[in-house]
Amino acid sequence: MLHVTGKGQAHTCDGISRRDFLQVGSLGAIGLSLTDLMAAKAAGAVDDKHDERSVIMIFNLGAPSQLDLFDMKPDAPAEIRGPFKPISTKAPGMQISEILPRHAELADRFSLVRSCYHTAAAVHDTGHQMMQTGRLFTGGINTPHAGCALAFLRGRKTDLPAHVILPEPMGPTGGNLPHGQDAGFLGKAYDPFALMADPSKENFKVPDLLPPPEIGEARLERRRKLRSIVDETVSNFEASDSAQLLDSSFDAAFRMMTSPEARAAFDLSKEPKKVRERYGMNRFGQCCLLSRRLIEAGVRFVTVNTFLTVFNEVTWDIHGSSPFTSIEGMRDIVAPMYDQAYAALLEDLVERGMLENTLVCNLAEFGRTPRVNPAGGRDHWPQCWSVYFAGGGIQGGRVVGRSDPIGGVPAERPVEPPEVVATIYRSLGLELETKLPGPQGRPFPLVDTGKHEIHELF
* pLDDT tens column, 72-99: 999 999 999 999 999 999 999 999 999 9
pLDDT band with cut points at 50, 70 and 90 for residue 257: confident
CA distance 367 to 387: 10
Residue 42 confidence (pLDDT) above 80: no
pLDDT band with cut points at 50, 70 and 90 for residue 15: very low
CA 163 – CA 294 distance, rounded (Å): 10
What pLDDT, on a 0 to 100 scale, did the predictor assign at position 115?
A: 98
Amino acid at 182: D
Residue range 291-298: average pLDDT? Answer: 98
CATH topology for the 48-214+260-457 domain:
Alkaline Phosphatase, subunit A (3.40.720)
Q: What is the pTM of this model?
A: 0.85
Burial label, 264 (beta-carbon count in 10 A; 0-12, 13-18, 19+)? exposed
Task: Give me the mean pLDDT over the 100-128 stretch.
Answer: 98
Determine what percent of the chain is predicted with pLDDT higher than 70.
Answer: 79
Question: Does residue 296 contact residue 354 with C-beta atoms inside 8 Å?
Answer: yes
Closest CA to 150 of 139, 164, 138: 164
User: Residue 248 has what pLDDT?
Assistant: 47
pLDDT for the residue numbered 94: 98
163-214 residue pLDDT tens:
999 999 999 999 999 999 999 999 999 999 999 999 999 989 898 665 555 5
User: Across all residues in the chain, what is the average pLDDT?
Assistant: 86
Strand stretches in 181-234, DSSP E: 193-194
What would the pLDDT profile of 239-248 be if each residue is shown by its tens digit?
554 544 444 4
CA distance linking residue 247 with residue 35, whole number of Å:
16
Contacts 24+ apart (CB under 8 A), 214-221: 214/8, 215/19, 215/22, 220/22, 220/254, 220/258
pLDDT average, residue stretch 256-276: 92
For 354-405, how does the pLDDT look when each residue is reduced to its tens digit (9 = 90+)? 999 999 999 999 999 999 999 999 999 999 999 999 999 999 999 999 999 9
What b/e sequence results for 342-380 when a residue is b if at least 16 CB atoms lie within 10 Å of its CB, and e otherwise? bbbbbbbbeeeeebebbbbbbbbbbbbbbbbeeeebbbb
Between 22 and 344, the higher pLDDT residue = 344
366, 127 contact by CB (below 8 A): yes
The H-assigned helical ranges of 376-431 are 417-428
With beta carbons less than 8 A apart as the criterion, state whether 181 and 144 touch: no
